[in-house]
Structure 1
Amino acid sequence: MRAGKLQHRITVERHQELVSDSGHVRKVWLPVLTTRAEIKEATTIEFLTGQIEGDTARAVFLVRWPVQPITTADRITAAGQAWNITALTEIGRRRGLEIRAEAVA
């Protein structure tokens, strides 16, 4: 993974419940990890096999192996857009992580 291709700054967020002093529960997305990433659009093969729906924007984020564990319950924010994580794939032996995501409507 070449450092020059990691041009985009992304934030991985985790859904948390916060309780105020009065006992009011509020659900929020809190940042877990901020890192650099390479962003790719969904591939032509995915488009031809019908894995992509017409209205859903999908992308692939390539990052170096994260210190904090990331799960499909988390989401990514990049350039003001939120993305739900749909799949995670290890690149090499913990060299990097391929994160497949779809845009939040």
Structure 2
Amino acid sequence: MTRPGNFDRVIILERLTKVVQPSGSVKEQWQPLATVRAALIQKSATELLTGFGEEESGTTLFHMHYFAGLTTADRVSYSGTPYDLKEITEIGRRRGLILKATAST
């Protein structure tokens, strides 16, 4: 378990929302949901083997305090790079979250 003092990174949680333009058209764009501190647990450029034998590259794990309502439809922005959330694991009983993410293409 990562200690709170190791939350030395700042990440932005973002959610895709629909915004009505002045012309009346609707546009989807990523809006900041929250800016939080997190720990970067693992960053690997090598391919990792998943449970079904598929390969996944560039997996990054973030550990952060618990945040209610976060889903895999949301994303994380870290150091100017957006990351798609692949898995969210709750630690204990609302003690924290582990976010498994890959850089967006």
TM-score of the aligned structures, taking structure 2 as reference length: 0.84
Structure 2 gaps, min length 5: none
Residue of structure 2 in register with 1:12 after alignment: 13
In terms of fraction of residues, the more strand-rich structure is 2
Structure 1 gaps, min length 5: none
The Cα shift of 1:42 comes to 5.3
**Where does 1:1-105 land on structure 2 (aligned, <5 Å)?**
1-41=2-42, 47=48, 50-53=53-56, 56-66=57-67, 68-105=68-105
Cα deviation 1:54-102 (Å, max 9, x = unaligned) = xx31111100111x41000000000011100000111011100011111
Q: Match of 2:48, SS?
A: helix
TM-score of the aligned structures, taking structure 1 as reference length: 0.84
Seq. identity, %: 37
Q: d(CA) in 2 for partners of 1:48 and 1:30?
A: 32
In terms of fraction of residues, the more helix-rich structure is 1
- Give the count of matched residue pairs: 100
Q: d(CA) in 2 for partners of 1:8 and 1:42?
A: 13
The alignment yields a C-alpha RMSD, in angstroms, of: 2.0
